Amino acid sequence: PPRKLTARDQKDWKIPPCISNWKNAKGYTIPLDKRLSADGRNLQDVAVNDKFAALSEDLYLAERKAREEIKTRNDMIRQRRVREEEVREQQLRDLAATARTQRAELATEAVVEGESAAD
């Protein structure tokens, strides 16, 4: 080598031993940092794209808007059902009133016929 290896160079070139996350035939206690270094996840730098925050914000706003629209739609449906129920109840009241008047008319006719038959 053209120059002496420093401790940092040695550390950079150190390859971690193969440690399986699934098998441990000899039952050794393996520290977590060794297990994590074995799978190589931390060897890459995690770089989050700047547009991810914008996407996340847009998704949040879209979800909030959709929730508001669903809420207003459900409110309108509920109000329509209440109005339909009121109309139906009014129709039933009118029907009951006409039935009462018809029954009263029949009763008065029966009374009138009974009086005329008695005479």
H or E element: which one contains 111? helix 50-118
Q: What is the pTM of this model?
A: 0.47
> In this predicted model, which residue has the larger pLDDT, 45 or 75?
75
Residue where the block lists tokens 């390859």: 15
**Size of the chain, expressed as the number of residues it contains:** 119
The mean pLDDT value for 18-30 works out to: 79
From 82-86, 91-95, 105-109, the region with the lowest mean pLDDT: 105-109
Dist. CA 90–CA 6, nearest whole Å: 94
Residue 60: predicted pLDDT:
98
Number of separate helices (H) and strands (E) present in the chain: 3, 0
Residue 103 scores a pLDDT above 70: yes
Dist. CA 16–CA 10, nearest whole Å: 12
